[in-house]
Every structure is written in structure tokens, then in C-alpha cells.
Amino acid sequence: MIHFEKLGLIKELLTAINSEGYEAPTAIQRQAIPFALEGRDILGCAQTGTGKTAAFALPILQRLFAKKPLPNTKRPIRALVITPTRELAQQISDSFAAYGAHTHLRHVVVYGGVSQSPQAKALKAGVDILVATPGRLLDLMGQNLISLKEVETFVLDEADRMLDMGFIDDIRRVISHLPRQRQTFFFSATLPAKILALADGILTNPVAINVTPESPAAELVDHWVYFVEKMHKAPLLVHLLENPQISRALVFTRTKRNADRVTRHLKGAGINADAIHADKTQNARQKALDNFKIGRTRVLVASDIAARGIDVDSISHVINYDMPNDAETYVHRIGRTGRAGLTGKAFSFCAFEERGQLDEVEKLIRLQLQTAEMHPFPSPTPIKRSLAPKETVRCAWRRADRRGRGRR
């Protein structure tokens, strides 16, 4: 087993890593950190939960710490991290705070949906590392509150999601303000042609790192599909959540409206649930996420964009209430469970009109989802599936008093 000491990290970072309980680096950390410390550009392809943040945060902290600013001098922004969502920006900021606890380097996180006054005040005090979402970053740049002239390291995180959310033009605007001589880290869970073209334009002789497993779905996750018609999805969800083994569930819907609708249905059934999506205020989203983290809320219902920054330990189940529009999104969703050596379960509700999307998912992950039977609201199982048949399983749990009940 390789330990962090072998990667060339300084004692200030090793002490912080130890305090966080890290024992051994992940694959992307083992491969990226040594090259990053040498100053190389990096093109990293890795899915959610692989340890990307530490792979770029630790080298940034070490390189900046080696050139600490003099006391009582203005601190220019020397490292910039751009990420697509507020939740992910806050998560990365928290990581910088933890890893850099003994470096005395300053970092600030800026994102929209909240007052800019505290952010502007922190920026004026001087900052070494800035973590930002594109919109708020450009707003502050337009007000001359941010200068990127002295940025030494630039990180573009979750680049594929930037493309999905329409941020690519904003990213190009930001890049036009960066020094040409810089180190760049480019991370994406997938590498479609447009993302590769963007990477080619901003990276210089990069080290390519791909830690996507042979099957791009989390290896410690059991994948089940429930064939159920749309009108019966809500009662099926309530039925499944009667199982106490579902201790912490993240439920995905395709739309913000449906997230609210599902949450209301669960609350009406006496299930402690909350919704998180882009129409919620930042304070409401953070409160919902905090309650989910500490276990006060058992079920969090999320849209895909809002959920990209959710990093919560011990999510026992991911439930795809709506099948995702594209197969890659399935990988992002189920990557929220089966983490840190723990097993997890992914349940997908598939209506008749969503069976084409199920086929695409199974082709991508090269795995046929197991069919859950004997639930109260079945629709006919398709005769032909995209892959060779595998074992069909019965629903892992059902209360005895549910037997024989018809559809309600």
C-alpha cells in the first residue's frame, strides 16, 4: 500500500491528512499529485467520489506554501478553482480549509444566490486561493473586485457538467483573463468531443490520467430496476421507504417541479424528506443538505444539477425516481452511494416510456440491472433487454401485511 508520505507532501499537509483520517491515497491522487507537484498540467477523467479534490488541492497548497507572501503585504489570487454548482464550490472550499489548516494560506469561496458583500469584503482582505462558480466570478470581475493577473494555478472541475449547464462561454471568458504561463488542472467525469476540444485549447503537454473503472458504475453498488408506471411511482417510493434498512436515501428527479411534488407526497405519508434544487435559496439548500448530513432528514429529493455537489457519507440508497435523460447521469447519481468501502444500493423506477433510457444505461455500465419483483405496483417486465439475461431477484424486503394487496 502506498502512503501519502511517498507522494512528496510536506509535513504541514501530512498532519492535516492524518487529522482527516486518510490512510492511503486513491488512484487519482497517487497518479496526479507527483506530476502536479512538478508543475505539469493534468487532464483527469474520474467519476464522482474518486478523491479528485485532494488530487488538486494538496499540490496547490504545497506549491503556494513554498512561496508564502510576506507579512502585511497584499495577497493576490494565485490559485483559481471553478466549479459548476454552489454546493460543490462549498465542498471544495471546506476541503481547502481542512487540508490547509497548518499552512496559514487564505482561501475564499464565491457563488451566487447570496449577498456578495461578505465575499467582496473577504476578497479585499487578500486571498491566496479562490473557489468560484462562473456567474458570480464574472460578476465580481466586472466590478473590478477580482483580478486574475497573478493566478499561477487554474483548476476547471466537473467540466462536463459545465457543458451541460451552458457555462462553456463563461469559462472561455474567464480563461481569457488568466496569464498564459500557468499550471492547469482539467477534471471531468466524461470526455465528450466538446470537452476534449476545450481541454486541448487550455492545457500544455498535459499528463492524462483516467481512473474510470472497467465498468463506470460504482463497484460496491447493487443495481436494481423496478418496472412501474408513472402514476404508481410515488406510492412505490413510500412502500420502499417503509423499510428501515433504507437509512439515508437520495432520490433523483429530472425536474425541480417533480422534486417538490415527490417531497410533498413523502411528507404527506409521514416520511421526513426535503427537496434541493436550483429554485431554492442558497440558505434553504444549505439547511436541507446539513439536515441530511446529520441524519435529521432521512430522504433528500434532488434534481441532477443541484445534487452534483452533494458529498454525504453513508448514503445507503440512491433512488432514480425518474430515469436520467442520458446514461452518464446515471453514473453520477449512483456514485453517491457505495463510497469509502461501504456497499450501497441503487433503485431505478422505469416506466414504459423510459425503457429506452434503461437500455442506454445498461449499455454504458455493461451490466444488466437486476429486476425487483413482488412489489405492489408492477408493470410488465420487457421480454428483451439490452444485455444477456442475468439473475432476476425479488424485492429484498416487503412487509408480510403487504402480501395480497392489490394496486391502490
The answer to whether position 407 is within a domain reads no
Summary mean pLDDT of the chain: 86
The answer to whether residues 198 and 264 belong to one domain is: no
What does the angle CA 184 – CA 186 – CA 190 come to, to the nearest 5 degrees?
170
The answer to whether residues 206 and 274 belong to one domain is: no
Q: What is the CATH number of the domain that holds 146?
A: 3.40.50.300
Domain count for the chain = 2
The answer to whether residues 125 and 38 belong to one domain is: yes
Nearest to 76 by CA among 135, 14, 24, 149: 149
The answer to whether position 408 is within a domain reads no
The answer to whether residues 202 and 228 belong to one domain is: no
Which range of residues forms the domain containing residue 380? 221-402
Q: What is the mean pLDDT of residues 76-101?
A: 93
The answer to whether position 43 is within a domain reads yes
* Side chain identity at residue 337, one-letter code: T
The answer to whether position 314 is within a domain reads yes
Q: How many CB atoms lie within 10 A of CB 167?
A: 20
The answer to whether residues 206 and 289 belong to one domain is: no
The answer to whether residues 19 and 47 belong to one domain is: yes
pLDDT band per the 50, 70, 90 thresholds, residue 257: very high
Query: pTM here?
Result: 0.68
User: What are the φ/ψ torsions at residue 28 (nearest 5 degrees)?
Assistant: -70, -30
H or E stretch at 360 = helix 355-365
Nearest to 397 by CA among 365, 373, 362, 371: 373
pLDDT tens digits along 299-318: 999 987 666 667 777 889 99
Return the C-alpha cell found at 241: 421507504
pLDDT tens digits along 235-253: 999 999 999 999 999 999 9
pLDDT band per the 50, 70, 90 thresholds, residue 190: confident
The answer to whether residues 163 and 121 belong to one domain is: yes
The answer to whether residues 275 and 327 belong to one domain is: yes
Give the dihedral of Cα atoms 304, 308, 309, 311; nearest 10 deg. 90
Listed residues 155, 186, 210: the one ending a domain = 210
pLDDT at 402: 34
The answer to whether residues 77 and 206 belong to one domain is: yes
Relative to beta strand 344-350, strand 370-373 is unpaired
Q: What is the mean pLDDT of residues 275-296?
A: 86
The answer to whether position 216 is within a domain reads no
The answer to whether position 215 is within a domain reads no
The answer to whether position 385 is within a domain reads yes
pLDDT tens digits along 208-234: 998 755 445 556 789 999 999 999 999
pLDDT > 70: percent of the chain? 88
The answer to whether residues 181 and 117 belong to one domain is: yes
User: What are the φ/ψ torsions at residue 225 (nearest 5 degrees)?
Assistant: -120, 135
The answer to whether residues 337 and 282 belong to one domain is: yes
Helix (H, G, I), strand (E, B) or coil at 152: coil
Listed residues 167, 184, 210: the one ending a domain = 210
pLDDT at 348: 97
334-338, Cβ contacts within 8 angstroms, sequence gap of 24 or more: 334/217, 334/218, 334/221, 334/223, 335/47, 335/48, 335/49, 335/218, 336/48, 336/49, 336/250, 336/307, 336/310, 336/312, 337/218, 337/221, 337/250, 338/218, 338/219, 338/220, 338/221
Whole-number Å distance between alpha carbons of 67 and 62: 9
The answer to whether residues 143 and 58 belong to one domain is: yes
Q: Which residue has the cell 421526513?
A: 272
Helices H, strands E: what count in the chain?
15, 15
> Is residue 350 a contact partner of residue 323, using CB atoms and an 8 Å limit?
yes
Across 8-126, where does the E strand assignment appear? 42-45, 79-82, 107-110
Listed residues 176, 210, 244: the one ending a domain = 210
The answer to whether position 127 is within a domain reads yes
